[in-house]
Amino acid sequence: MLEIGLNTLIIVLLCCGLALFAGGSVGILRMPDFYTRVHPSGKLDTLGTLCMVLGLAIYNLDLAHLNLGNILISLKMMLIIVFMFYASPTATHAIVDAGIHAGMRPWQKGDQRRR
């Protein structure tokens, strides 16, 4: 019974990750300028990575064949999540800062031109 619950949790996490990645992709395609495109890519890709890697880490902890190797691999996956939560906002900030220094101006409501 516990295995059915874990499999359901894994499926939900992977589907949520897929939905977040799809939302980030749609946001990148639909937003009008550089600055508004960075926002969905930074936020939704980080959350999508959290859901996907967490689902894979739980999947790796197979209760029937639990051993030290599987536990260590799942811990490494958790470290990937921690690294992503530190690196992704920092990288997004650096990209936006580079856009500001390059002279890119934000989109205004009256602008018809998309960059």
38-65 pLDDT, tens digit per residue, is: 988 889 999 999 999 999 999 998 877 7
* C-beta separation of 95 from 38 below 8 A: yes
- Let me know if 9 is exposed, middle or buried by CB neighbors in 10 A (0-12, 13-18, 19+): middle
**Average model confidence (pLDDT) across the chain:** 89
**Domain parsing of the chain, residue ranges:** 2-101
pTM: 0.83
5-41 pLDDT, tens digit per residue, is: 889 999 999 999 999 999 999 999 998 888 889 988 8
pLDDT greater than 60 at residue 74: yes
